[in-house]
Chain A
Amino acid sequence: MFSLGDLYKQVIIDHTKSPRNFGKLEPCNHDAEGYNPLCGDQLHVYLQINDSDIIEGITFEGQGCSISTASASLMTEGLKGKSIANFEILFEAFHKMATADLSDQPNQDVLGKLAVLAGVKEFPSRIKCATLCWHTVKSAIQDADKTARTE
């Protein structure tokens, strides 16, 4: 039986209460808006990507539940200084972790600290909360002018 503690780990509560990299980014050359209509979570991500495709800066703003806030906060920590190619790998690994079979272990080597969010897969209605920020960064990088969704 899964307990609430699997989802609301102390790290997640901590990031909810004091999200890292929260606010606008200056300078910023990519940004996008994400929206989860189910719970009204709204998220804006800002990125500064340099000529060598390295994410030099990343922040987020918005209002959301604990899972979406903590996920965005942890994501910004995880992506700062990483390359776009690296983002793609993390995106895949994160997505896989959030939607994997319950018995699958997250890829700790790739995901590092992000693996604390593995508990969401036990709470199907909350998976999108965790993945929204990743989809939003993806559309920011692609400079899509549409609001990101988790589909």
Chain B
Amino acid sequence: MNIEQIRSDFPILDQELYGKPLVYLDNAATTQKPQCVIDAVRSYYEKDNSNIHRGVHTLSERATAAYEASRETIRSFFNAKSTKEVIFTRGATESINLIASSWGRANITKGDEILITHMEHHSNIVPWQMLCEHTGAVLKVVPMNEAGELDMNAFTSLLSERTKLFGVVHMSNALGTINPIETMIKQAHAVGAVVLVDGAQAAAHMAVDVQALDVDFYVTSAHKMYGPTGVGVLIAKEVLLEAMPPYQGGGDMILMVTFEKTQYNDLPHKFEAGTPNIAGVIGFGEAIKYIQSIGLDKIAVREKVLLDYATSQAELFEGLRQIGTARDKACVLSFVLKGVHPHDLGTILDREAVAIRAGHHCAMPVMQFYKVPATARASFSIYNTEAEVDALFAALSKARDMFA
């Protein structure tokens, strides 16, 4: 794999901040976009812009074809059974809210249990709290250990016939942990629970086959996989989607409206009310093709090499405590540095042109577990290099010296 070639696909990387080359290590927040995605969005607005599924004119037909072609690209990437199972949303957050509102209100009653884990992003906690408050269901949490791995024994004993849904993050944004979702899905199914996997972080780093996994709901956001912001996907089993009431009402999700009664549209349109983010969906499809052109297998191998390099540097760095040392992890180096608050690190590193995230990473319970107010997080992507890891640690040395 030629990293320099890949870097040249991302125009934003070719810039300096404060006289130093940009080192972008905030990929878990959002990845940069390759030229092909930027071009696809631009070309849509320059040549094909019009509304979809409702025009007889040529532009509308072109836009509809491009939008639906993206759906097929995404279906095939995740190996969903049919495009009926591919629902476009605003992102992982909206996908989860869709499930909680639509599936949740139809299936959850008082005394039922929703099981999630200690390392969920707020977007896979709060919708379930809201649902529990509304229905009287109970939220249960799978604990984790000091390394940031889920406690599988506790998971087994928390599962029961009361468990109606198990929600788990595929790869933690705060820790990098990759969870053993294959086993967990099987175990949850054995007690009759449906399973939601939050793939917001994982989808850009490892191959996901929703049929092989037999997962009920898989969600992700385009912007963390080289695509545009404000668009994502919910992939769900058709039988579940068929039985679920619509999430939002409006145009596109109906077949026939009278004041007496409305007949809902077929899948997937039943869950896509209103004019969607057409350009975003088209860009999303292009981003998936970009990933496919490199190959997820190669991406996973390369990113592991880079993470191992960064981890070995971290282990040598005096005063650095890694937060999240799971055996199976990817692309995330979360840490605290003795004597320097993460927020100060963020500012100091920024002046060295090194972009990292400092904060709670929308995973406050993880911070509470490690008893830290925040962590600094460097997160890697396919275009990052060993030289950039060196720049990170050089900048960290400067920060440490300032407060020495």
Contacts and interface: CB of A to CB of B under 8 A. Distances in A.
B259 interface: no
Contacts of B403: 13, 16-17, 66
Contacts of B80: none
A110 to B, nearest CB: 27
Interface in B314-361: 339-344, 346-348, 351, 358-360
Contacts of B359: 38-40
A137 to B, nearest CB: 21
Contacts of A126: 343, 347
B295 interface: no
Interface in A28-44: 38-42
Contact of B18 (A1, A17, A42): A1
A35 to B, nearest CB: 10
A129 B343 contact: yes
Nearest to B358: A39
B55 interface: no
Interface in A14-56: 16-17, 38-42
5 contacts: A4-B348, A40-B374, A42-B373, A64-B341, A64-B373
Interface residues of B, number: 19
B257 interface: no
Nearest to B372: A40
A66 B373 contact: no
A39 B344 CA distance: 10
B56 interface: no
A56 B394 CA distance: 46
Nearest to A37: B360
Interface residues of A, number: 23
A128 to B, nearest CB: 10
Most interface-central of B344, B351, B367 (chain A CB within 10 A)? B344
Contact of B373 (A1, A4, A40): A40
A64 B374 CA distance: 9
Interface of A: 1, 3-4, 7-8, 13, 16-17, 38-42, 63-67, 69, 123, 125-126, 129
B347 A125 contact: yes
Most interface-central of B18, B339, B346, B374 (chain A CB within 10 A)? B374
Contacts of A17: 339, 403
A41 B402 contact: no
A41 B346 CA distance: 14
Nearest to B341: A65
A125 to B, nearest CB: 7
Interface string B229-268: 0000000000000000000000000000000000000000
A66 B341 contact: yes
Contact of B351 (A4, A41, A63, A66): A4
A3 to B, nearest CB: 7
A44 to B, nearest CB: 14
A123 B373 contact: no
B373 A39 contact: yes
B373 A41 contact: yes
A39 B374 contact: yes
Contacts of B341: 39, 64-66, 69
A60 to B, nearest CB: 15
Contacts of A40: 359-360, 367, 373-374
Contacts of A66: 340-341, 343-344, 403
B18 A39 contact: no
Contacts of B358: 39
A134 B404 CA distance: 28
A13 B343 contact: no
Given A4-B351, A13-B403, A65-B343, 14 more contacts: A1-B18, A7-B347, A8-B344, A39-B342, A39-B343, A39-B374, A40-B360, A42-B373, A65-B341, A65-B344, A66-B340, A66-B403, A126-B347, A129-B343
Nearest to B19: A1
A8 B359 CA distance: 20
Nearest to B345: A65
A127 B346 CA distance: 14
Q: Kindly list the 9 A-B residue pairs having the minimum CB-CB distance in the complex, ordered from nearest.
A: A40-B373, A65-B343, A65-B341, A39-B343, A40-B374, A66-B344, A4-B351, A65-B344, A63-B373
B172 to A, nearest CB: 18
A65 to B, nearest CB: 4
A91 to B, nearest CB: 23
Interface in B185-224: none
A129 B342 CA distance: 13
Most interface-central of B339, B343, B373, B402 (chain A CB within 10 A)? B343
Contacts of B374: 39-40
Contacts of A7: 347
Nearest to B352: A4
Most interface-central of A63, A66, A67, A126 (chain B CB within 10 A)? A66
Contacts of B344: 8, 65-67
